[in-house]
């Protein structure tokens, strides 16, 4: 299954690279700094990442309230 995820991630890489990195960073930079707790922050981060375009599968907030976007097959 990990091999399939890796193949899909590599396949989506050209689509993800089409999004300017500066725009991706600016949009996700503050998405974890919302009121409502960790669940709301993670949901906001995930939605922000997915809206960036094809290939982005979601995201999560770390302990420093930084949003990390993920590429590949969504776990949902």
| pLDDT reported for residue 53 | 84
Compute CA distances 21 → 2, 13, 17, 41, whole Å: 26, 13, 8, 21
pLDDT of residue 39: 92
CA distance 76 to 24: 22
Global pTM value: 0.57
pLDDT at residue number 31? 78
Tokens of 44: 């906001």
Q: Is the dihedral of CA 18, 45, 61, 10 positive or negative?
A: negative
Per-residue pLDDT of the chain (76 residues; tens, 9 = 90+): 555 555 555 555 555 555 555 555 555 567 788 888 889 999 999 998 898 888 889 999 999 988 999 988 655 5
pLDDT of residue 43: 92
């Amino acid at each position: 299954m990990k091999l399939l995820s890796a193949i899909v991630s590599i396949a989506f890489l050209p689509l993800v690279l089409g999004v300017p990195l500066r725009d991706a960073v600016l949009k996700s930079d503050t998405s974890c700094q919302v009121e409502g707790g960790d669940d709301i922050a993670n949901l906001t981060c995930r939605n922000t990442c997915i809206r960036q375009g094809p290939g982005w599968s979601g995201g999560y907030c770390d302990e420093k309230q930084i949003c990390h976007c993920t590429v590949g097959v969504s776990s949902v």
